[in-house]
Amino acid sequence: MYDLKIVIIGAGIGGLTTGIALTKAGYQVEIYDRVKELRPAGAGISLWSNGVKVLNKLGLGDKMAAIGGQMNRMQYRSCKDELLNDISLQPLIAEVGQRPYPVARTDLQQMLLEAFTGTVKLGSKCVGFEDVGDSVTAIFEDGNSATGDLLIAADGVRSTLRAYILGTEIEPRYAGYVNWNGLVKASEDLAPKNTWIIYVGEHKRASMMPVGGDRFYFFFDVPLPKGTSTPPEARQQELANFFQGWPQPVQNLIKQINPFETNRLEIHDIGPIDTFVRGRVALLGDAAHSTTPDLGQGGCQAMEDAEVLTRYLLTTNISVEDALKRYERERKERANAIVLKARKRADQIHGKEPEITEQWYQQLRQESPLDVTNAISKTILGGPLR
Ligand code: FAD
């Protein structure tokens, strides 16, 4: 289909990648976001090869390589500093045809914003829409509106538009653990600079991975009841308590973090939900299939959505509604499977059933590195770009 005007709500990874893909395909695109200034939530993200391939197709491969970290190995160590597994990522890269890139979120967002040639309007909170059959109009809190041939709701895990599409509200589900994350200067007293290191034990994790600019993206996970909070000034002490007795690099990391730039968040996911589309309106990214970060696939799935949605608009010509239904059919199967797989993995890592977590620690000791990379390759190769 040609000459479509497309309105996107949300300028996160999903909305921006979709905006780039659709403008490159020749469509007119406007993106609206409620915030006055775009600041990504979270410090870093690991973009696995399926996400990177979408960016490659959009001509952003070199730029991605420039801001991404060189992650050549993955290493699991126990909280007693026993080496559990040391994994070269080379077999994975050879199998899937593209290296993964851990990246600082601000760098990724900046790159996507610069690549998007349509318009971005900030300070525009969408409160609903009106689908009148041959067009759809997004309605904003300030009384403005935007009309297009289709509306993409890329408004995140707490999507406002999702309830209109599903006909019912759904509450994100607490995954049972808290995640702290941020960036630190890379140094050898923390981890080798080309390695994603993951310390595991006591149902917790402490991890660092290299991102561009000679930095590590770090995260900590601890299972906790819902509703705990700690002010930034107390976060270093909180982590020191949770990770008391863990290996020296973890202690060094806790000392080196800036607690005021360390995010602390309760991890949620949603669904899986069966409806991504109603008429001329489509959910995309976390709004449709927010997943726990335990496979590092949420942002990658939003990028896959962008690729598939654009492909159906370009290659089918029955109607907008028909193209969106095809998008829904393809994406709900893949993305919902990832939501469930990541949920299972989150439970395995964080001691939902302690004996399963103990078995996982044993498995890490015994598993061949190739089995680990083959499992990741399988997830990557389930995407639309092989
Ligand atoms: P968002 O990034 O949430 O963007 C939604 C946008 O919509 C926001 O800008 C918001 O302001 C705007 N908005 C919301 N409501 C409205 C409204 N009513 N009107 C207008 N604008 C609105 N993914 C990976 O691929 N790899 C990883 O390693 C990884 N690690 C993660 C680690 C953590 C701790 C977490 C929490 C997530 C991680 N993810 C990872 C998942 C990834 O961050 C998300 O899947 C991704 O950011 C989703 O992008 P999105 O554009 O769908 O939503």
Asked if 32 and 121 count as a contact pair (C-beta separation under 8 A), the reply is yes
Q: Which of 99, 139, 154, 134 is nearest to 309 (CA)?
A: 154
DSSP annotation string for 143-194 = S-EEEESEEEE---TT-STHHHHHSS--PPEEEEEEEEEEEEE--TTT--TT
pLDDT of residue 153: 98
Cis status, amide bond into 384, omega within 30 of 0: no
Closest residue CA from atom 2 of ligand 1: 12
- Tell which one of 48, 109, 286, 350 to mutate to probe ligand 1, the residue whose CB is within 8 A of the most ligand atoms: 286
Structure pTM?
0.98
**pLDDT tens per residue, range 234-264:** 999 999 999 999 999 999 999 999 999 999 9
Residue 31: strand pairing partners: 8, 120
User: Mean pLDDT, the chain, as a whole number?
Assistant: 97
Residue 84 has pLDDT above 90, yes or no: yes
| Residue carrying structure tokens 């973009």 | 47
Cα separations (Å) of 37 from 19, 22, 123, 220, 240? 18, 23, 8, 27, 33
The 3-state DSSP class for residue 74 equals: strand
- Full DSSP string of 310-359: HHHHHH--S-HHHHHHHHHHHHHHHHHHHHHHHHHHHHHHTTSSHHHHHH
For 60-74, how does the pLDDT look when each residue is reduced to its tens digit (9 = 90+)? Answer: 999 999 999 999 999
The widest CA-to-CA distance across the chain, in whole angstroms, is 63
Comparing CA positions, the residue from 109, 134, 73, 181 lying closest to residue 279 is 134
CA of 33 to the centre of ligand 1 (A): 12
| Reported ipTM exceeds the 0.85 cut | yes
Ligand 1 closest atom vs CA 160: 18
Indicate if the alpha-carbon torsion angle 306, 309, 312, 314 is positive or negative: negative
Pair type for strands 119-121 and 263-269: unpaired
Q: Which one-letter DSSP state was computed for residue 105?
A: H
pLDDT category at 308 given cuts 50, 70, 90 is very high
* Residue 108: how many other CB atoms lie within 10 Å: 28
pLDDT band at 41 (very low <50, low <70, confident <90, very high): confident
**Cα–Cα distance for residue pair 112/92, rounded to 1 Å:** 26
Nearest to 158 by CA among 182, 125, 113: 125
User: How much distance in Å is there from the Cα of 216 to the middle of ligand 1?
Assistant: 21
- CB 341 within 8 Å of CB 347: no
Q: For 39, list phi and psi in degrees, rounded to 5.
A: -135, 120
Percentage above 90 pLDDT, the chain: 98
Are the beta carbons of 120 and 34 closer than 8 angstroms? no
Q: Rg of the chain's alpha carbons, rounded to an integer?
A: 21
Rounded distance, CA 284 to CA 157, Å?
10
Please name the residue whose Cα sits nearest to atom 37 of ligand 1: 293
The residue contributing the CA closest to ligand 1 atom 38 is 293
Q: What is the mean pLDDT of residues 273-282?
A: 97
- Sequence-ordered list of residues with C-beta below 8 angstroms from that of 386, at least 6 positions apart, any chain: none
Across the range 98-108, mean pLDDT stands at 97
Query: Is a pLDDT exceeding 80 seen at residue 40?
Result: no
Q: What is the dihedral of CA 101, 212, 302, 348, to 10 degrees?
A: 60
Q: How far is the CA of 206 from the centre of ligand 1 (A)?
A: 22
For residue 42, is pLDDT > 90? no
Section 213-218 average pLDDT: 97
Instruction: Measure the CA dihedral 266/272/275/277, to 10°.
Output: 50
Residues 6+ apart with CB under 8 A from 169: 162, 163
Task: Give mean pLDDT, residues 193-202.
Answer: 98
Who lines ligand 1 at CB under 6 A? 9-15, 32-35, 42, 45-47, 51, 125-126, 154-156, 160, 179, 181, 285-286, 293, 296-300, 302
